[in-house]
Structure 1
Amino acid sequence: MGLTRIATAAAHFGRDLAFDLRRVAALIEEARGSGAALLVLPDGTLGGAFADFGRVDPEHLPPALDPDGPEVRQVARLAADLVVCFGYSEAGESGERFSAAACVSGDGVLGRQRKVHLSAAEALHLQPGGGFAAFDTPAGRLGMLLDYDKAFPESARALAADGAGVLACLCAWATSSRAPTLTRDRQARLFDVYDCVRAVENQVVLVSANQAGVMHGTRFLGLAKVVGPEGATHARTGSRPAMVVAELDVDAELTAARRGRHHLAERRQEAYVPDRVSPL
């Protein structure tokens, strides 16, 4: 495919959908102006994140949206020639709720993902998704991870094994409650480690977007970034709202990383089954 510009954002989104859609429109225009082909936005782009799990009053939860509803269609119209990944709270057919992501362009929805791994607090309000699948887009074959999903090696591996060369990781990852600075924040360290390790172990490009700012007393990290398949960070924001753009040849990066050691091809699946593992 040659050189591709990939944009990702650290941005704040809240419960006001009209505000969120205006911010999405502005970020899409900024990405388009930079020549980007792909833009990754955070978990909770529409409606904000699950920032305060202690409140069970429905007015404090993100609005649950129809996955084929007007808000999703509006983002697709705004995207036009761009490929845009964004997160929202999805209303299920039977009244259940999911943390979800959609990947859209002007042609409509290209791919969907529901968050599979839920924290104990999230499980009070959400149902888990059922698995991971990659999909084809004009910007290449992609897969999406939502927030806590990236803490599990199997999540990214499933998408890479399904042919994804780019993993879009949409997050609402918060700071540690007692950390005095970002450089000493345990969650900031974990956030960065997961981004780099998932890229390296699967030899893919990982595009990490995150919420920024504060909601209901929860402060989000920001730290959006684009990581190459050998662990190099090509572009990165700080903790404040910002967008960064990285230009790279995804196919060439993957080929170079896999030339000497091809992690996916050299797996030994038969050795990973617990009841077959021998200590000898």
Structure 2
Amino acid sequence: MTGPVRNAVAALIGLVLVALWLRVGPALVGAWAGGGAWGESAFTVALFGPMLLLGWAGRRLAGIRGPSGLAWRSLGLGAVTGLGCLLLATGYTGLAGTLIRSQGSMVGPLLALGLSVITVQVAAEEWVFRGWLQPVLLSLIGRRVAVPVVAGIFAGLHLLAGSASGGVALLNLFLGGMLFGLIAAGRLGLAGAFGAHFAWNAGEQLLLGLDPNPGVGVFGAVVDLDLRGVPLWGGSDQGLNGSWAMSLSLLALVVGWLLAGRMAMRQSDAA
């Protein structure tokens, strides 16, 4: 068995373990985690901590190395991309007439705890999907196939875990996986993908208060924006994540990233 095939088999086994854990883990962890901000923190760390360790171990076994430098620059550029995408999607909801401002904002020390919790969740997902599974598949089937395949798996496992429902939400998860995958496969690497994913989640939950919808989460939010009205433009319990606004925003960035990648390849070929 060659190295790439062996790595693919190991990644497949890891993927099965992740799927099983996401299926049974929430009920097991939720039975003792409790409520409130600290209960939510314990739940997230207990659920995603094993995934983070699995992704780290998988990368080491596969011999995948991180970038030699400029990780902070990549992280920052990725964060700008993710936050810009979120603000674009929010702007679309404003144009659609579903965006309103409520009075439920809560600014306090729990925001810092929320940032830490989001860091663990995003790091686990990125380490497994874009940090381990995608590089393994890239070595076997190439970027054009590997990135959408991993994006599809990313969306499917969210559906399996019960964190998304409906066709639009599933489409948005796929497009988000495409964006993070393209970033990770490009010059910004895994740090850029993490930055984009983190900025979107943190911005949606803790900055704009769009998740959950309506209201704000247990960690609070700087601003409490809600989406009401047409469900396909965010006026449902899935909020922005189940809206065409998010689809259009993500699609715009995915297309832009694809075009930028092609231009970079042409320039390198010309050189």
Structure with bigger helix share is 2
Q: Fold match, TM over 0.5?
A: no
For Structure 1 versus Structure 2, the TM-score category normalised by the shorter chain is: under 0.3
**TM-score when scaled to structure 2?**
0.26
> Relative contact order: is structure 1 or structure 2 higher (C-alpha 8 Å, sep ≥ 6)?
2
